[in-house]
Amino acid sequence: MVSIGILAGSGWASGINLYLVTLLLGFASRLGSDSVPEVFGRTDLMIVAGVLFAVEFVADKIPYVDNAWDAINTVVRPLGAAAIGAVIAGDATSVATVVAAVVAGALALNAHAAKASTRLAVNATPEPVSNISLSIFEDLSVAGLMALALTYPVVTVIVVVVLVVAAAALTLWLFRITRRASRAVRKRLGAIRSRT
């Protein structure tokens, strides 16, 4: 059950910040956690994860740059989560490894969709404070979820189920709002064109 909790927590959290998850798993491995494979503690992997986390930390604070970064990471985060899931599954049968990778990738995609759509909505406001606050909240949430996954894996599975439902609902709600706003803009543009 420990690896399932870590798989669920790292999978969902990777959809928010893949590089922070990788870095935190590296620290857990170096601190001797039996539930985290040693490969995460490799120096080269931790350096790359640290550099990419630093890039994301800055990019996430700048309106519209964060949207471009999220667009790039639409593919990277789920694939990275799938790789983490496969490594966590470790010596399991090949079917279990594939299932772990697919589950982790799907969880990351769920979280990423909620993050990216929320960022689009936040960028509609002209001030940068909400963007910076949201980014810091996301990073703290990732750290909190990973700490929970490493200490209370069963509770993590329950929390991730709640997060998946909430993220799906949020994404659908923001999509509907965006669609309504798009229709209103097209209607106004049509009215302006018909006057001229």
The total of other beta-carbon atoms located within 10 Å of residue 164's CB is 18
Res. 45: pLDDT tops 90: yes
Residue 100 — pLDDT band, cuts 50, 70, 90? confident
- AA letter at 56: E
d(C-alpha 125, C-alpha 102), whole Å: 36
Q: List the Cα angle 37/102/106 in 5-degree steps.
A: 110
Mean pLDDT on 109-124: 87
Helical axes 65-89 vs 43-59, angle rounded to 10°: 150
Nearest to 115 by CA among 160, 171, 165: 171
Average pLDDT of the chain to the nearest whole number: 89
Token digits for 74?
Answer: 């639409």
Query: What percentage of the chain reaches a pLDDT higher than 70?
Result: 96
Q: Are 171 and 113 in contact (CB under 8 A)?
A: yes
Helical axes 43-59 vs 2-30, angle rounded to 10°: 100
Q: 127 φ, ψ to 5°?
A: -90, 150
pLDDT recorded at residue 176? 86
Q: Which residues contact 84 (CB under 8 A, 6 or more apart)?
A: 10, 11, 14, 21, 22, 25, 104
pLDDT recorded at residue 93? 66
Cα 146 to Cα 23, 63, 80, 134, distances in angstroms: 11, 27, 16, 18
Token digits for 180?
Answer: 């309504």
Nearest to 81 by CA among 12, 181, 34, 33: 12
Token digits for 183?
Answer: 């229709």
pLDDT digits (tens, 9 = 90+) for 127-167: 778 888 999 999 999 999 999 999 999 999 999 999 999 99
The total of other beta-carbon atoms located within 10 Å of residue 122's CB is 18
pLDDT recorded at residue 184? 78
Task: Tell me how far apart the 2 most distant CA atoms of the chain are, in Å.
Answer: 72
pLDDT digits (tens, 9 = 90+) for 68-77: 999 999 999 9
Helical axes 2-30 vs 129-151, angle rounded to 10°: 110
d(C-alpha 85, C-alpha 80), whole Å: 9
